[in-house]
Amino acid sequence: MADREERRFAEVSRESVKLVAEGAGVELGDDVAALLAEDVCYRLREATQSSSQFMRHAKRRKLTVEDFNRALRWSNVEAICGYGAQDALPFRSVKEGELFFIEDRDINLVELALATNIPKGCAETMVRVNVSYLDGKGNLEPQGTVPTAVQSLSDELLKYYQQITRAILGEDPHLMKVALLDLQSNSKIAALLPYFVYVISGVKSVSHDLEQLNRLLHMVKSLVQNPYLYLGSYVRSLVSSVMYCILEPLAASINPLNDHWTLRDYAALLLSHIFWTHGDLVSGLYHQILLSLQKVLSDPVRPLCSHYGAVVGLHALGWKAVERVLFPHLPAYWANLQAVLDDYSVSNAQVKADGHKVYGAILVAVERLLKMKALSQPVEGGSSGLPATVVGAVGYRVSSPGLSPPPEPLSEAALGIASHLQAGGAGCPWEEWTPVPLPAMYCELYSFFGDSLAVRFSTGPDFGSFPTCTPSQLRDARKEAPGNASNPDTTRKMPQLTANLNISPRQDGSPRTDPPPPSLAVTGAARALARSSSSSSSSSSSSMQRSRSSSSRSGQRSAGLSRDVFPKARFTSPQIGPPAFTFIIGGRQMGRRCQGRRPFQTTFAPTPPLSAIPPRAYAHKLPVIGRVGKPVRRWACSHYSLHLPL
């Protein structure tokens, strides 16, 4: 056998047989081993042949382990277990022993059993019908590739295609609207899908033209929303086009007058929309998106607008994405951002302005992260604090259709993400990721953002009301000594979230273990009550009361933790300027972008006309674009947030 020249089949060598025998504690003679080897080969071939029959009848081209096992079973041989996995099994060799083996990693059963990442069951099997060929005519081109030429379509479709693209990319806004609308509802354009996708992939060539980019993105949106289109693997292509708009330092961004920020926001929104509605079409999509976002974020060479894109992208993908990517990455990133923000030189003004954008975006993302996290961890959230946060978060969700990924019932979203993460399997950078408990997270974040975080965090639903604030209220609020700074805010807010755990950033002097003021629980509950009854007046009063109660502690606060982190940015001149209404824009965006920033604005729920509050509480904290003095103001006024009537 061994000296056979022509090897037509894979053969098990005599040596292998001997080795295996040794493994089983049997010594084999050469001749016996040779005989055995030959027989083993023959039986293997025989089994392989019969297993191919199972493959043929299953109408497959690929022979599976299962086929082989069936063949074995029918010939009364025990099936071989453990090779059914989808992924290729790594085959290793050990030099010394000339041994080959399959690497078999241990699986932690306990971990597996207790895993909270419950995979979303695979999509249900279904049957869909489409008319492929009418009267025996149709597109003879095999579908599924992006065509290079548009010639092979039927005349009608070709005409349609030309009209549509011309309308969308043309000058007439009305025409464009009509075209987009049709694209969104036309049921017969499946054949054109590859062409449209191809057109959209042209984003890379028009990166200088914001208008065109915008139109192309709208085109994506229409395609995605068309219920008759099965996007299939084209999702990938669409996503990459959208990602391009989110992340790339577009040529259009060079001119600061171009509002590429809005484009990025819109693209991010679109991304989340695609993902939530079509994410299941491409496996591992979520991962790839997260990876590329993370890559951009961790690349300091990239311009700030790319970072901004990454942050909004993560934000749009949901709070889990923020938690997994942005949050762990924040400490590293913060240093860079801080450096930008702290550079007051004139030449840096533009960059700094961009930096503030990023800052704002991160803040919003982080805020939602905290809220959602609080919401999703009822146990940790604490009995007293929770109801309020829940309500707040819900209000937030409801009121911000633009911001949160559109159809995102909470539970589903969580599952979806979890399953995707799990699907990623080995090699995923988040594998070793462990969830940070909410309080710890808050703490850490607080160390970056200071009170601006707290303010945002506590106030979700009420912000819409600023415009209604009367000057007197403002004055009233301001009476609460600005000097007291933001401490009351923190104390107030923190217990809300973490009452049980007592971790809250405090002023240096105060012991960390300080029990929360008993009154807090009470007020928290009261607040919840008030909220649920949705009476604006009661809520305002209760909040007032609370603010007062907590104000007693306010004095303690001085620079605090946050100060070390932001030594320069804060505290320079605490009292400057009435913060008043600037924060309408969400505090972060000012100037030209205001109108466009709908997503961020909408974070503020429309609320009952608000009494007591501190629109200015907001104003202060915002990094104001391009102006050196602003951060200061933000800091100075942050204490006002304490008085938010909740």
Residues 6+ apart with CB under 8 A from 539: 527, 530, 531, 608, 645, 646
Residue among 491, 500, 256 nearest 385 (CA)? 500
Nearest approach, Cβ of residue 187 and another protein (Å): 14
Q: Does 627 bind another protein (CB under 8 A)?
A: no
Q: d(Cα 621, Cα 630) in Å, to the nearest integer?
A: 8
Q: Does 10 bind another protein (CB under 8 A)?
A: no
The residue to which tokens 């099965």 are assigned: 230
Query: Of the two residues 39 and 508, which places its CB atom closer to another protein in the complex?
Result: 39
Determine the interface stretch with another protein among 48-56, 244-252, 347-355, 401-409 (rule: CB under 8 A): 48-56
Q: d(Cα 293, Cα 267) in Å, to the nearest integer?
A: 13
Q: Does 60 bind another protein (CB under 8 A)?
A: yes
Query: Of the two residues 94 and 140, which places its CB atom closer to another protein in the complex?
Result: 140
Select the residue interacting with another protein from 77, 99, 181, 332 (CB under 8 A).
77
Q: d(Cα 241, Cα 262) in Å, to the nearest integer?
A: 16
Determine the interface stretch with another protein among 54-62, 319-327, 394-402, 487-495 (rule: CB under 8 A): 54-62
Determine the interface stretch with another protein among 35-43, 161-169, 209-217, 469-477 (rule: CB under 8 A): 35-43
Nearest approach, Cβ of residue 415 and another protein (Å): 17
Q: Does 61 bind another protein (CB under 8 A)?
A: yes
Select the residue interacting with another protein from 54, 160, 195, 448 (CB under 8 A).
54
Nearest approach, Cβ of residue 145 and another protein (Å): 11
Query: Of the two residues 35 and 251, which places its CB atom closer to another protein in the complex?
Result: 35
Nearest approach, Cβ of residue 204 and another protein (Å): 26
Query: Of the two residues 58 and 175, which places its CB atom closer to another protein in the complex?
Result: 58
Q: Does 227 bind another protein (CB under 8 A)?
A: no
Q: Does 76 bind another protein (CB under 8 A)?
A: yes
Q: d(Cα 174, Cα 179) in Å, to the nearest integer?
A: 9
The residue to which tokens 């938690």 are assigned: 323
Select the residue interacting with another protein from 93, 162, 233, 595 (CB under 8 A).
233
Query: Of the two residues 231 and 362, which places its CB atom closer to another protein in the complex?
Result: 231
Q: d(Cα 130, Cα 143) in Å, to the nearest integer?
A: 14
Nearest approach, Cβ of residue 31 and another protein (Å): 14
Residue 514: its H or E element: none
Nearest approach, Cβ of residue 124 and another protein (Å): 6
Amino acid identity, position 13: S
Determine the interface stretch with another protein among 64-72, 465-473, 497-505, 602-610 (rule: CB under 8 A): 64-72
Nearest approach, Cβ of residue 299 and another protein (Å): 32
C-beta separation of 18 from 3 below 8 A: no
Query: Of the two residues 34 and 529, which places its CB atom closer to another protein in the complex?
Result: 34
Query: Of the two residues 137 and 174, which places its CB atom closer to another protein in the complex?
Result: 137
Phi-psi category of 600—alpha, beta or left, where left has phi over 0 and alpha has psi -120 to 50? Answer: alpha
C-beta separation of 405 from 365 below 8 A: no
Interaxial angle between packed helices 285-297 and 304-317, expressed in degrees from 0 to 180 and rounded to the nearest 10: 150
Site residues (CB under 8 A) for another protein, limited to 457-486: none
Select the residue interacting with another protein from 22, 26, 30, 75 (CB under 8 A).
75
Determine the interface stretch with another protein among 39-47, 342-350, 439-447, 613-621 (rule: CB under 8 A): 39-47
Residues 6+ apart with CB under 8 A from 401: 602
C-beta separation of 461 from 605 below 8 A: yes
Site residues (CB under 8 A) for another protein, limited to 379-418: none
Q: d(Cα 589, Cα 583) in Å, to the nearest integer?
A: 8
Nearest approach, Cβ of residue 44 and another protein (Å): 9
Residue among 450, 425, 420 nearest 287 (CA)? 420
Q: How far is CA 1 from CA 4, 7, 19, 36, 568, in A?
A: 5, 10, 17, 11, 83
Q: How far is CA 412 from CA 367, 422, 479, in A?
A: 21, 15, 46
Q: Does 232 bind another protein (CB under 8 A)?
A: yes
Nearest approach, Cβ of residue 419 and another protein (Å): 14
Residue 468 CB burial class (10 angstroms; 0-12, 13-18, ≥19): middle
Residues 6+ apart with CB under 8 A from 284: 420, 423, 424
Query: Of the two residues 116 and 132, which places its CB atom closer to another protein in the complex?
Result: 132
Q: d(Cα 418, Cα 587) in Å, to the nearest integer?
A: 33
Site residues (CB under 8 A) for another protein, limited to 244-303: none
The residue to which tokens 């049921």 are assigned: 187
Q: Does 9 bind another protein (CB under 8 A)?
A: yes
Q: d(Cα 552, Cα 402) in Å, to the nearest integer?
A: 39
Interaxial angle between packed helices 518-533 and 536-554, expressed in degrees from 0 to 180 and rounded to the nearest 10: 160
Select the residue interacting with another protein from 7, 23, 27, 57 (CB under 8 A).
57
Size of the site for another protein (CB under 8 A): 53
Site residues (CB under 8 A) for another protein, limited to 90-149: 122-138, 140, 142-144
Nearest approach, Cβ of residue 157 and another protein (Å): 17
Query: Of the two residues 128 and 174, which places its CB atom closer to another protein in the complex?
Result: 128
Other C-beta atoms closer than 10 Å to the C-beta of 118 total: 11
Nearest approach, Cβ of residue 189 and another protein (Å): 15
Q: Does 187 bind another protein (CB under 8 A)?
A: no
C-beta separation of 517 from 499 below 8 A: no
Q: Does 188 bind another protein (CB under 8 A)?
A: no
Of how many residues is the chain composed?
646
Select the residue interacting with another protein from 17, 37, 47, 296 (CB under 8 A).
47
Query: Of the two residues 232 and 609, which places its CB atom closer to another protein in the complex?
Result: 232
Which chain residues interact with another protein by CB under 8 A?
4, 6, 8-9, 38-39, 41-43, 45-47, 49-51, 53-54, 56-61, 66, 70-71, 74-77, 122-138, 140, 142-144, 232-233
